[in-house]
Amino acid sequence: MHTGQNRKTDEILNSLDGFSRAAAPDLFYTRLKAKMLGQLEKGGEIAIPDQRAWALRPVYAVAALVMVLVVNSFVLLQKNKGGATNSINDTETFQSIAAEYSINDNNGLYDLNQDK
């Protein structure tokens, strides 16, 4: 009984004797080329080196765009909040600079038409 089972198992294990290699289907190269061209048309994936391909994936591009928009909106909001105070501060700064370099009333010095 045991020997019978062993013989059957050995038969199965040896069933690949005289085996020949499976050949790729006909027109394999034509179909491969069509697949590659299809991928190229879709998004040029084939021509993109693997290392940089991730950066061009739509999900990363959209994420980057959203991030830029968020940062812009945040900056604009901050600017609008303190807009009035800032303009006063700016005027004060300009005035102090003008006073420091004595350029408040000096326009006349450069008025070339003064003598005419």
Partner 1 sequence: MNEAELIRGLCSGEEAAFKELVTTYQDRVYNTAIGIVQNAEDAEDVAQEVFIQVYRSIHNFKGESKLSTWLYRIATTRSLDLLRSRKSKKRFGLIQRLFGDSAEPLYEIPDFNHPGVKLDNKENAAKLFKAISQLPENQKIAFTLHKLEDLSYQEVSEIMKTTMAAVESLMHRARLNLKKILEKESG
Nearer residue to partner 1 within complex by CB, 11 or 105: 11
Nearer residue to partner 1 within complex by CB, 20 or 102: 20
Q: Token pair of 84, please?
A: 């009035």
- Those residues whose C-beta lies under 8 Å from the C-beta of residue 48, and which sit 6 or more positions away, are 56
Rounded least distance, CB 27 to partner 1, Å: 11
Rounded least distance, CB 65 to partner 1, Å: 28
Query: 94: part of which helix (H) or strand (E)?
Result: helix 83-100
How far apart (Å, rounded) are the C-alpha atoms in residues 86 and 114?
Answer: 37
Rounded least distance, CB 38 to partner 1, Å: 11
Nearer residue to partner 1 within complex by CB, 43 or 82: 43
Interacting residue ranges for partner 1, rule: CB under 8 A: 5, 8-9, 11-13, 15-25, 28-29, 31-32, 35-36, 39, 46, 49-50
Q: What per-residue string of b and e applies to 35-63 under the rule 16 or more CB within 10 Å gives b?
A: eeeeeeeeeeeeeeeeeeeeeeeeeeeee
Rounded least distance, CB 31 to partner 1, Å: 7
SS3 state of residue 22: coil
Nearer residue to partner 1 within complex by CB, 39 or 95: 39
